Amino acid sequence: CKTFTSIDQSKVEASIERIYDRFEQLVALDPSLPKLHRTDHARYLQVSLERLSSSYECLDSSRPWMVYWILNAASVLNLRFADELLNRVVDFLIKCRSPIGGFGGGPGQDPHLATTYAAVNALCIIGTDRALDTIDRTSLKQFLGAVRESNGAYRMHIGGELDVRGAYCAISSAKLASFAPEDELKLFEGTAAWIAECQTYEGGFGGAPDLEAHGGYSFCAAAALMILGGEERCDLHALLRWTVNRQMAYEGGFQGRTNKLVDGCYSFWQGALVPIVQSLIARKEHRQDIMNVSLFNRLALQEYVLICCQKPTGGLIDKPGKPADLYHTCYTLSGPSVRTDTHPCSSSATPIYPFRRRCHSVATVG
């Protein structure tokens, strides 16, 4: 019996098949394919940082996110913007800083953990003294305390929803801001236990207890537990099994949930989750051998990204037929760039390193 899901899946597979068939003809003429179109993506990011199109008006409350998506994607491409432009970015993020701590989605907006995470990460990517001094650690600590629940869970904003994203955004922001150890202990007492309650029967994590397992939430949960040292509280092997089974056998990319379609952004949310879980298992079970095993098909993932997700005009996409946007450009690029010690071409330079340092037998930069 066909369902809406199975019909959509068949359509996606058919579109992927056409693209791969065409690619086989092209690679016969040019064996250097597939290529990362770095110049096109760099231009797309440069233009977007200076001036967004009107289609982004609906994301007015997510403006620090757009800054972060651009800067993080640029870092993956080993692209550094001019100092004058980065200073303007800092000027803008200063305007997003809330007097009660944290950062809002735009100037004058209420602080929110998601946009605080985005702003703090963006400022750390810029890395200048002025950028780092923009993070007001005292008021940030007060804001985190204001959205913390007594059980260690975090609301996304004052009076907002409880969500595992909130816990991760708070933990990451505090760690990047170099909070004192005693402040971290106080802020995140009980947080690891609450996160563990979000693990589902499938093995992945939902946004809150008793919700469906999802790639984005699972990444946030595992990354938070990695920082907190709370891996004893969850079933890591169940999480690993669920995660690796989200790679699509035909497309090569990842889906975010069971019985959902492939999406380029999950090349990061799921692809980066695998080495995190491997590291957690290695730490919990004293098993470094697990770090020497590749647990998903990295070549298939890279082929999906490079062959199916690049727009000729720059930017990356969810899947064929979708438009490029900053969110998918950031995370679709980031997935194949995650360094792991299991890859024969892994670099010791940085945890996430530019595509141009990868094996040229797999992909070259155009």
Q: How many CB atoms lie within 10 A of CB 158?
A: 13
Residue 248, φ and ψ in degrees, nearest 5: -80, 130
- Comparing CA positions, the residue from 225, 253, 259, 260 lying closest to residue 239 is 225
- Comparing CA positions, the residue from 317, 282, 316, 251 lying closest to residue 42 is 316
Residue 189, φ and ψ in degrees, nearest 5: -65, 125
- Comparing CA positions, the residue from 176, 301, 285, 292 lying closest to residue 248 is 301
Residue 138, φ and ψ in degrees, nearest 5: -65, -50
Q: How many CB atoms lie within 10 A of CB 75?
A: 19
Question: Taking a C-beta distance cutoff of 8 angstroms, is the pair 106, 148 a contact?
Answer: no
Residues near 23 by Cβ (< 8 Å), separated by ≥ 6? 33, 34, 307
Evaluated on CA atoms 104, 353, 178, 197, the torsion sign reads positive
Tokens 């609906």 correspond to 58
Catalogue the active-site residues. 214, 257, 260, 263, 265-266, 318, 325, 328
- The Cα 70–Cα 316 span in angstroms is 12
